[in-house]
Structure 1
Amino acid sequence: MASSSSPPPKLPIPGRRNILITSALPYVNNVPHLGNIIGCVLSADVFARYCRLRGYNAIYICGTDEYGTATETKAMEEKCSPKEICDK
């Protein structure tokens, strides 16, 4: 049976190369396309994978721009909430 506890947090390790990688926030105001990946997350993901292969203690984090102007405008056009646009 799998444990219901979360994995331990990834923390800096003294004496090792510790790298935090972030990327631009992808917009959710239109139909997803290849440009969404290339423009904001692909290069950061590739770099994170490279760092891990080199044995570095790397973490890559990102999110979405759920409260940006473009998302809010699209939600108003579709007469729904920004959350509903993001979920869609």
Structure 2
Amino acid sequence: MGRTDIVEFHLQDNGIWQPFPVEYKRRRPKKDSIDRVQLCAQGICLEKMLDVKVPADALYYGQKKRRHEVTFDALLRQKSSQGL
């Protein structure tokens, strides 16, 4: 069972609160897409749990002290869904 580090809720213009998961990683980004796939899988789980669309999330890398937004395109969703 996985666990999301943080879920922020951003207020949208239409008054809806949009979930926005953030995954914290201690080191730097990996060369493959595994961090993005993991993050997208968390977004897909939140979509099913909360019956909302989660279009993007963010990865925060401690070594670089940077936050990178990840948009969930069809290919990333497909890769993530294969593991669910």
TM-score by length of 2: 0.33
Structure with greater contact order relative to length (CA < 8 Å, sep ≥ 6): 1
The structure with more radius of gyration: 1
Q: Comparing both structures, which one devotes a greater share of its residues to helix?
A: 1
TM-score by length of 1: 0.32
